[in-house]
Structure 1
Amino acid sequence: MGSVQYGGGLDPIHIEDRALAHLKVVIATKLRRNESFTLSWQHPEEEVGGRSTIWLHPSIPLRFTFDEPETPQLNAKWIEELMLSANSTGGIMLIDEVLETPEA
């Protein structure tokens, strides 16, 4: 389970390593373009229920920490879906992995 430390917040945001690796690509792309946006996620089952949203801005410190030392192979379709949500008025909604489907 990886984590994100954002700004001066004391509590890290815990996100599974594979999802965090994909999310990192999308967030870094947006921030590199100097774009601000929101990130929303549902709390893991072991935490108090509900969901959270944070405002991401290029000037606020951000750190990604991974439990696994190796970067997983990235799923381009999942990154594309996360980027589409990042570009929407609702911001990024962390969704389950989108799998490639064979063309019929």
Structure 2
Amino acid sequence: MGTLFYGDAATPIGIEDRALAHLKVAIITKLRRGESFTLSWQHPDDQPRGRSTLWLHPNIPLRFVFEEPEPPDLSRTWIETLMRSANSTGGIQLVPEQLDTGPIATVDPLATEPGAENAAS
């Protein structure tokens, strides 16, 4: 479980390491541009029911702390989803990663071999 420290808030925000790594990319991208925005998430099951929102501003200190020493492989799709929400009026919505579980396209090996078009004749 990673931790997000924002400003002088007394309560750190616990976010799973993989989600925090993706969130970090989206947040840093916006802050580098000097853009302010909100970050919203639903409370996990072990916290009181509800949701929270932070106003993120480039001049307010921010620190990301990860439990795992090695960074995870990042999903371009998840980062793009977070960035699209960051650019909306609602700000970044921390949503779960959507894994592509659809079938993997296969290629007919005969169709890619030179001269395969004449093999059926």
TM-score scaled by structure 2?
0.82
Sequence identity percentage: 67
The alpha carbon displacement at 1:102 in A equals 6.0
**Structure 2 regions of 5+ residues with no counterpart?**
106-121
Q: What are the superposed Cα offsets for residues 9-53 of structure 1, whole Å, 9 maximum, x if unpaired?
A: 010011000000000000000000000000000111111110000
Aligned counterpart, 1:78: 78
Q: Which region of structure 1 is more displaced relative to structure 2, 9-18 or 91-100?
A: 91-100
The whole-number CA distance in structure 1 between the counterparts of 2:86 and 2:98 is 15
Structure of greater Rg: 2
The whole-number CA distance in structure 1 between the counterparts of 2:86 and 2:43 is 19
The alpha carbon displacement at 1:98 in A equals 2.2
Amino acid in structure 2 at the alignment position of 1:50: G
Aligned counterpart, 1:57: 57
The alpha carbon displacement at 1:103 in A equals 7.2
TM-score scaled by structure 1?
0.95
The whole-number CA distance in structure 2 between the counterparts of 1:82 and 1:19 is 10
The whole-number CA distance in structure 1 between the counterparts of 2:24 and 2:79 is 10
Q: 1:103 to 1:48 in 2, by over 3 A?
A: same
More relative contact order in 1 or in 2 (CA 8 Å, sep 6+)?
1
Number of matched pairs: 104
Please state whether the residue corresponding to 1:45 is helix, strand or coil: coil
Aligned counterpart, 1:27: 27
Give the root-mean-square deviation of aligned CA atoms: 1.3
Please state whether the residue corresponding to 2:52 is helix, strand or coil: strand
The whole-number CA distance in structure 1 between the counterparts of 2:104 and 2:55 is 37
Aligned counterpart, 1:66: 66
